[in-house]
Structure 1
Amino acid sequence: MIKKLPYGQSNYKNLVYDNYIYIDKTEYIERLENFHSSYITFLRPRRFGKSLFTSVLANYYDINEKDNFEKFFGETYIGKNSTKEKNSYYILKFNFTGLNTDTEEGLKETFIRTIKDSFDKFIQVYNLDISYIQEGSAASIFENFLTQVSFKIQSPMYVIIDEYDHFANELLSFKTDLFSNVVSKTGFVRKWYEVLKKGTESIVKRIFMTGVSPITLDSLTSGFNIAMDITRYPAFNEMMGFTKEEVIGLINNVVRKPLNKIELEELLQVLQKNYNGYLFSEECEKRLFNSDMILYYMQSYVDSGKGPKSLIDRNIASDYGKLGKMFDLKNKSANMQVLDDILKGERITSRITEGFSLEKDFSKDDFKLLLFYLGMLTIDKIVLDRSILKIPNYAIKGLYFEYSGKKLNEAIDYEIDVSDIEDSIAEIALEGKNESLIKIVEKTLNKLSNRDYIKFDEKYVKLIFLTYCFLSKIYLVKSEYEVDNGYIDVALLKQANMEPTYFAIFELKYITKAEYEREGEKIVEEKTKEASAQLKQYSKSEELSSLPNLKKWALVFVNDKCVVNMEI
C-alpha cells in the first residue's frame, strides 16, 4: 500500500492513524533507556525531525497509551523489542517555539503562558483533580505545580522539552544583552531549570531535551548541570535525519510507480547532491540527509514525477535565512572573515567542543562551531585534534551565496536588481551570451573599487561572479570544480528539472591596477593564454565532453574592468 509523505507532520499519532510513512527510529528508544544517564540533551539543526522524535518518545512512554501500544508500535523495532519502562510514565511536554522575544517582559509573559498550557494539558490528559498557583515567576509556578502533582500520581514523570533554545537563538540574532539577562544566574529561565533539576529528586525520573545550539545549555550549566549532551555520541549519530538506506526505503514506499535501477540512481544523485552530507560525530562515517528537505522534494516528485523548482521550500529558507543575523554576533569582523573563507573555498578548521559561552571570549573557532551546530557547516575529515569543516550540501551553499548577495548590495550602496542578474544568466542559458553578466560584475567591481577595506584578488572577483550565478536557479553552479585535468574556476552545469540550451565553464584571471601599469598588455596576453590553455585541457574531460553546447570563456579582469572576454 502506498504511504503518504509526512512533510510538516510532527505528531506520531497522526502518522499512525492517517497512513503516513514513518522512518523507524525506535531502536534509539532502547539505546536511550539503556544509556547511563536519564537526563539527556540532543542537538540537531532546524528541520531535522526533532519534534517528531519527541512525539514518538511521548507515545511510547505514556502510561495512558498502554492499550494502544500494538497499534502505535507493533510494526516497529521497539514494538518487537519493547523495554521494561514502556508505558510507565506521566509525560510532561514543553515546546518553546513561538515565544515573544521583543522585550524581556514579553518573553516572560509568553514563557509563563507556554508552561501553564503544558500544565493544564497534563492535568486534563491524566484527569487529575489539582490546582496550582497562577501568579508569580515561572520558577515558582513550576515548583508549585510539581508539588501538587507529586501528591496525585503513583508513577514517575518523564519531562520532554522540544526546542529548548528556540527563543534564545532568536535573541542571539539581535539582542545578546537580553539573552544574557534571561539565562544568567538571576535570570528567569535559569531559575526555571533549577526547579526542573530539583524535580529530579522527587517525581521527575527522565528528561529529554532537544534544541539547535549549545550556547544556552552552556549558560545554564551551574543551574542545570545534570543533563548529558549526547549530540556527538557515535551511537546516536543517526537518531535524527535520514541515512541513504532510509531514503531508498522511503522512495520505494511512496512512489506510485516503482522506479527502475537507473531512475532510482538518478533520483538519489539529485537528493545526495542537494540534501546529504551531514556528519555530527568525528568517529562516524555514515552521512545524513536533512529529513524535512527530503520530504519536501519528494512531495513534488510523487505528484509530478520531478522535483520542485526551488531546492528549499519557503518555510525552511525562512528558518535558515534568519541565520544571517548570526554573523553580527559578538565579533562581527571576525565572523565575516569566516564567511569570506567559506565562500572562497578556503580550508575551514576548528576543534569541535560540546559548548561555548557568550560570557567568555567568543573566538573564530566558536563561531565556526556555532555554524556546525546550526547545520551550516559539517565535518569533512579529522586532522590530528581538529576537524576540517565544509558546507554540507548544495542547498546550504545556495543559502550562503544568497546572503553574500545581500552583503554585496550593502557594500556597493547600490542595489542590483536580482531580476537583472537572473536575466543575465538566462541569456547564457538560452543564447550562449555572457555580456550582460559581465557588465553587472563590472558595475559591482567599480562600486567596490573605492572601498579601502576591500582587498581585490582573483578569489574575490570569483566570489562576486559566483554569487551572481547562484542567485539564478537555472544551473548547478560549481566552484573549483574538479575534472580529470584540473579544477575549473566556475562551471554552470545541469540542474535537476532545468533544460538550458547552453552550459558554460569560465576561467577567471585578475590583474591589479599596479601590475597592469607595470607590465601593460604583456601580462594580459600571458593571463589570456594561460586561461585558454586551461579551458582546452578541461574540455577534454569525459564529464564535460558529454554536455551539449558547452561554452568555454576565458575572462581577464584588470581592476574593475573585464578586458578579455574570449570564447574558446
Structure 2
Amino acid sequence: MSEGAAELLGNPYGAVSYEKLREPCRAFVDKSAFIKELDDASAPRYPILLRPRLFGKSAFVQMLKCFYDLSYKDRYDELFSGTDIYQENLAGRNTYHVIDFDFSGVSGDDKDTLTDSFIVAIKRGITDFRSRYPDFVFNPTEADKITPSCFISSFLRAYMLYPAKKSLYVMIDEYDTFAERRIFQGAEQFQAFSGAFEFIRDFYAVLKAGTVNSVGKIFITGVSSLSLDSLTSGFNIARNVTSRAYFNDYAGFTETELAKLIPELLDIKQLGVSADEIIARMKTAYGGYRFSLEAEHTVLNSAMCLYYLGKMSRAGEFLPPEDYPAPATNHDDLKLQQLLDLAEDGLADEVIDTCLSGDRFLLKKLAENINLNKDARYNRLQLLSMLYYFGYLTIDKKLPHTGRLALKIPNLFMSKVFARCTAEIRLKPSRVFTDADLDISALQDVRDDISSFAASCTEFLSGIFTNQVLTHMSETAINLTLYTKLDSMNEVFAEMQKSLRVAGDGEKYADLVITVNEGKDNECIYLIELKYAAKNEATEARIQSLVNESRDQVLKYSSALEFRGRLVKPYAMVFAGSDCVYCG
C-alpha cells in the first residue's frame, strides 16, 4: 500500500454466506433490523419475500439461518455484535433447528431430470443440516429418495424422533428459478411442462402438513408470484409480505447504506470525487426501485453497485456506472423480449409506445397469482406485473383520485434495455430500416457543414414513421431510431444518452455521441443534442426556443471531462415531426 493510501475492505460482490460477509476484512451492509419484524408475534409464520435478481435475497436468507439456528449459538457475538439486531436481544435467537434449501441451481429438460435436480438440492440441504447436528439420525431408504415429497417426508419423520427436537425452521431460497427458465421459453412450453411440476406441489404439501407438529416457520424467497399458484397450489398458508413498506429495503442498497459502504471500498481522495457524487451517478444508473407505495425512498440494485465499485477500485479512477453493468445482466434484453412475446396481441406495442412517450403504466393493482397453467398468454395486468417482479418496472406512486397504481422504468440501465428491445422488435426486422442509408460523408470528412447528414436523417425518419415501423413519434423515438441505425454502421461508433461530467454542472446526458475516424489522426466526435416538436406545435417561436435550448446544452456538454484533449464538434438538431428543421 502506498503512503497515504486509504485502508480498504474487501468487496462482498458475489458473497452469499453470512459468515463470510461478517469477516473483519470485508465490507458489510447490515440488514439485520428486518429480523425483528419477521420475528414479531403478529408477523406471518410463512412469509414470502420477493425481489428481482441480484438484490441480495440469498444473503438475507443466510443471515436468518445464522440468527435462528441453534448451532450458531456460540458464535452469536462474533456474527451479530455491532449489528442493529444485536441490541434487541430477541428471545428467539439461536433457539431453533434450521434447514435451508437453495433451489437456484435446479434445472432439467424433462420431468426426470428436473426431479433428480430437485432431489439433489434437498439432499444438499439435509447434508448441511446433519453436518451441524451430527447426533441427528437419518437413514433414508432408496424408496424414500424417489421423489422430493418422499425425501422431505422421511426427513420430517426422522426429525420427530430426534431427542433434541425443537421447532424446525425451513428456509427456501429462489423457489421459482427452475420455473422461470420455463417461463421464458413460452406459455405453451410452461403448460406442457406443468405436469412435471406436480412433484413440487407434493413437496410443498408435505411441508404444509409438517407445520402441524414439527415445522415452526417457513421463509421463502423468489422473484415473481407467478409460481405461487402455478407451482405451490395447495400451499395456501404462505403470505407475500413483499409490498409492505417496512420491507422495502430488506434487499438492495439505500443511499444511506452506500454512503457508509463506498469509503470502505474506494479511496475517495485518490479518485477525486465524493461518495455523494458516486451515489448520485449510481442511483441514476442502477437505482429508482420502490417496492411499496408507502416507502419513503428508493433502493439500488446491490449486485450492480458492488460490481461497479469493484471495477472502479481496480481502475483507480472514476468510471461511468452505466458502462459497467454486472455480467449477470447480460440476458436481460432477451428476457424482456421473451416476456413481451408471451403477451396477448397488441400489448407489446402498448409497452413500447408508452416507453417511447415517457409515460407511466397505470393499473389497478399488481397481480399476485399468475397461473400459466390456465392462461395461454399474459393479459395486460399479468404482463405489467411480471415486468415489475423482474425489475424492468417499479412502483411510481398511487394516483390520488382513482387509486390506480403507476409503474415506471426505474433507471437508465433499464431504459436502455427497453430501447434495445424496441430496436430488436420494431426497427431491425424492418426492410424500411435496413435498406435505408444515412449520409455520414460530411462527418467522416470532419466538415463543419453536416447538412447532408441532417437531410438524410429527415428522409430516413420519414420512411420509418410513414410506414409505421414506429407508431409513436417523440424525441426519444427519434433519438433511438438514429442511434440504432448509426450503431449498425461500421464506419462510426455511436453512443446514446452518454453520461458526461460537466464541471460546475454535474452529470449530464448527451443524446448522440458519434465518433468518426476512430484511432486516426483526424478522429472527431460529433456531439448532438436533439429536440422535437410535433408538427402542429412547430411554430417559429417554438422552434427558435428549442434551438436556443439545445445549443446552450450542447455547448455545455462539449466541455465535459470525458472530452478533454479530443476534437469535439457540438451540434443542435431540432425536428418538427420527422423533418430536421435546424442543424447547427
1:29 to 25, 35, 40: 35
Does the alignment pair 1:403 with 2:403?
Answer: no
Cα distance in 2, alignment partners of residues 314 and 429 from structure 1 = 36
1:14 to 8, 11, 20: 20
1:353-408, Cα deviation, whole Å (9 max, x unpaired): 35032325842122111111111111222103212211101011111112222223
**2:395–2:405 Cα contact (<8 Å) kept:** yes
1:476 is aligned to 497
Which piece of structure 1 moves more, 347-356 or 365-374?
347-356
Does the alignment pair 1:306 with 2:308?
Answer: no
**1:274–1:394 Cα contact (<8 Å) kept:** yes
2:390 is aligned to 374
Cα distance in 2, alignment partners of residues 110 and 223 from structure 1 = 23
Say which SS state the counterpart of residue 77 (structure 1) adopts. Answer: coil
Say which SS state the counterpart of residue 346 (structure 2) adopts. Answer: helix
- Structure 2 regions of 5+ residues with no counterpart? 1-6, 500-507, 515-522, 560-568
Cα distance in 2, alignment partners of residues 500 and 375 from structure 1 = 38
1:173 to 156, 161, 184: 184
1:520 is aligned to none
1:131 is aligned to 139
The alpha carbon displacement at 1:286 in A equals 0.8
**2:137–2:158 Cα contact (<8 Å) kept:** no
The alpha carbon displacement at 1:205 in A equals 0.6
1:65 to 72, 96, 111: 72
Cα distance in 1, alignment partners of residues 269 and 411 from structure 2 = 27
Cα distance in 2, alignment partners of residues 267 and 81 from structure 1 = 33
Question: Structure 2: which amino acid aligns with 1:292?
Answer: A
Query: What pairs with 1:496-535 in structure 2 (closer than 5 Å)?
Result: 503-508=527-532, 529=540, 532-535=543-546
CA RMSD of aligned residues (A): 3.9
1:47 is aligned to 54
Query: What pairs with 1:147-226 in structure 2 (closer than 5 Å)?
Result: 147-152=157-162, 153-180=164-191, 187-220=198-231, 222-226=233-237
Cα distance in 1, alignment partners of residues 451 and 38 from structure 2 = 56
2:481 is aligned to 464
Cα distance in 2, alignment partners of residues 97 and 555 from structure 1 = 49
C-alpha distance 45-470 of structure 1, shift in aligned 2 (>3 A): farther
**1:173–1:323 Cα contact (<8 Å) kept:** no
**2:101–2:122 Cα contact (<8 Å) kept:** yes
Q: How many residues align?
A: 534
Does the alignment pair 1:335 with 2:356?
Answer: no
Say which SS state the counterpart of residue 93 (structure 1) adopts. Answer: strand
Which piece of structure 1 moves more, 87-96 or 313-322?
313-322
Percentage identity across aligned positions?
Answer: 27
The alpha carbon displacement at 1:231 in A equals 0.2
The alpha carbon displacement at 1:185 in A equals 11
Cα distance in 2, alignment partners of residues 67 and 532 from structure 1 = 72
The alpha carbon displacement at 1:248 in A equals 0.6
**1:279–1:286 Cα contact (<8 Å) kept:** yes
C-alpha distance 407-141 of structure 1, shift in aligned 2 (>3 A): same
1:391 to 389, 402, 409: 409
Cα distance in 1, alignment partners of residues 310 and 509 from structure 2 = 35
The alpha carbon displacement at 1:137 in A equals 2.3
1:518 is aligned to none
Does the alignment pair 1:323 with 2:323?
Answer: no
Cα distance in 1, alignment partners of residues 238 and 83 from structure 2 = 28
2:113 to 101, 106, 119: 106
Which piece of structure 1 moves more, 526-535 or 267-276?
526-535
1:364 to 380, 383, 391: 380
Cα distance in 1, alignment partners of residues 307 and 149 from structure 2 = 39
Which piece of structure 1 moves more, 150-159 or 537-546?
537-546
C-alpha distance 532-5 of structure 1, shift in aligned 2 (>3 A): same
1:143 to 146, 153, 162: 153
**1:441–1:465 Cα contact (<8 Å) kept:** no
Which piece of structure 1 moves more, 208-217 or 540-549?
540-549
Question: Structure 2: which amino acid aligns with 1:74?
Answer: S
Cα distance in 2, alignment partners of residues 336 and 126 from structure 1 = 56
Cα distance in 2, alignment partners of residues 441 and 136 from structure 1 = 66
The alpha carbon displacement at 1:256 in A equals 2.8
The alpha carbon displacement at 1:314 in A equals 2.1
Which piece of structure 1 moves more, 526-535 or 388-397?
526-535
**2:101–2:171 Cα contact (<8 Å) kept:** yes
The alpha carbon displacement at 1:312 in A equals 1.0
The alpha carbon displacement at 1:46 in A equals 0.8
Cα distance in 2, alignment partners of residues 444 and 100 from structure 1 = 45
Which piece of structure 1 moves more, 212-221 or 34-43?
212-221
Which piece of structure 1 moves more, 381-390 or 303-312?
303-312
Say which SS state the counterpart of residue 330 (structure 2) adopts. Answer: helix
Question: Structure 2: which amino acid aligns with 1:131?
Answer: N
- Structure 1 regions of 5+ residues with no counterpart? 479-487, 512-522
The alpha carbon displacement at 1:123 in A equals 2.4
The alpha carbon displacement at 1:240 in A equals 1.0
**1:531–1:554 Cα contact (<8 Å) kept:** no
Question: Structure 2: which amino acid aligns with 1:401?
Answer: A
TM-score normalised by length of structure 2: 0.80
Say which SS state the counterpart of residue 187 (structure 1) adopts. Answer: helix
Cα distance in 1, alignment partners of residues 408 and 198 from structure 2 = 36
Does the alignment pair 1:347 with 2:347?
Answer: no
The alpha carbon displacement at 1:199 in A equals 1.3
**2:465–2:471 Cα contact (<8 Å) kept:** no
